Structure 1
Amino acid sequence: MVRILGIDPGSRYTGVGIVDSVDRHITAVHHQAIRCGNGDFPQRLKTIYSELSELIQQYQPHEIAVETVFMAKNAQAALKLGQARGAAICAAVSQDKPVHEYAPKAIKQAVVGKGGADKTQVQYMVGLLLNIKGQIQADAADALAVAICHANSRWALGRLSEAAKIT
């Protein structure tokens, strides 16, 4: 069993999704959106770092998966998103957790089947794949999608490794 913490970084809300993965079977453990607030930007980064650090200590994931930066509406938004990612990654590496990064299109492809899926499609498919009843907060669903993407990538790489040993 491998416990994976998926993170969808954001400067207002940072999505968190934790899953357990055994071969092709993935089970939801926890999901939430960390509310970073509207205040001072450095304080929001501290919130991301602190809350993720606490969640890592509480749930003890083996690996962390983070969504990479996409082209935001403007340069300022992209810079803030990059800083939020940095705070999240620092929370992981400060506790010696390996970090894996995935592009938004790859995550959507892995979960929905198309890289251009919208947030509601991701929410729906995450709920379906993990058997979660009710509405999942959008950022939390995105984080669970990151974790699912990483679980599937791990499984596929493991299968390829096994096949290479046989030949």
Structure 2
Amino acid sequence: MIILGIDPGIAILGYGVVEYKGNTFKPLGYGGIFTDAKEAMPMRLKKIYDELQQIIDKYHPDVVAIEELFFNKNVKTALLVGQARGVAILAAANNEIDIYEYTPLQVKQGVVGYGRADKKQVQVMTKTLLNLKSVPKPDDVADALAVAICHAHSGAFGGLFKIK
């Protein structure tokens, strides 16, 4: 199974493509989609969509796993991230790819086995499970890979977290 993990963001949208076969992971590609704060919002969203489409065309993922929006105190930031998340969901839906969403707590549980793990623990476990030389940077990229790993570990529960 090829999983496209996404950590949604407007300035940086992290992505990680992982193949999960026989209880082993193989990273196929990962990185970030960066947008310029000086650009108009429609152009930033278009860039995210276009680059995600290129990633989908290159890797042909079986599923997309995306982190749920974590609402912080800054409502404006949450709304912007929500727009980027919507564009990511649209890219998957337009390609008829099943979409699963996970909370930060579920991602920590799925990667580390402990829902209250700190960011460093998740990053080290992600690096270890994917047999990478170092933790991917920026954090958004490591987070996207963690979301993909979480899905591999949690996806057996059927459509439990699936966006219908």
The answer to whether TM tops 0.5 is yes
Counterpart secondary structure, 1:134: coil
Paired residue for 1:10? 9
Deviation readout 1:90-131 (Å, 9 max, x if unpaired): 111111111111111100111123323333332221101110
Q: Give TM-score scaled by structure 2 length.
A: 0.89
Partner of 1:140: 141
| Structure 1 residues 7-60: Cα deviation after superposition (integer angstroms, max 9, x where no partner) | 000010000000111132121111101112212222211111110011000111
Say whether residues 1:78 and 2:78 are aligned partners.
yes
Normalized per residue, which structure has more helix? 1
Match of 2:161 in 1: none
Name the Cα RMSD after superposition: 1.4
* Matched residue, 2:154: 153
Q: Runs of 4 or more off by more than 6 Å in structure 1?
A: none
Name stretches of at least 5 consecutive residues in structure 2 with no aligned partner: 159-164
Would the alpha carbon gap of residues 24 and 70 (structure 1) be closer, same or farther in structure 2, given more than 3 Å must change? same
What fraction of aligned residue pairs are identical, expressed as a percent? 47
1:147 shift after superposition? 0.4
Q: Is the 8 A contact 2:110 2:151 kept in 1?
A: no
Count of residues paired in the alignment: 156
Q: Does 1:35 align with 2:39?
A: no
Alpha-carbon separation, structure 1, partners of 2:22 and 2:115: 24
Larger C-alpha radius of gyration, 1 or 2? Answer: 1
User: Could you state the TM-score of these two structures normalised by the residue count of structure 1?
Assistant: 0.87
Cα distance in structure 2, aligned partners of 1:23 and 1:72:
38
Do the aligned residues in 1 keep the contact of 2:135 with 2:142 (CA within 8 Å)?
no
How many Å separate the matches in 2 of 1:51 and 1:80?
18
**Which residue number in structure 1 is paired with residue 59 of structure 2?**
59
- Structure 2 distance, partners of 1:152, 1:113, is 10
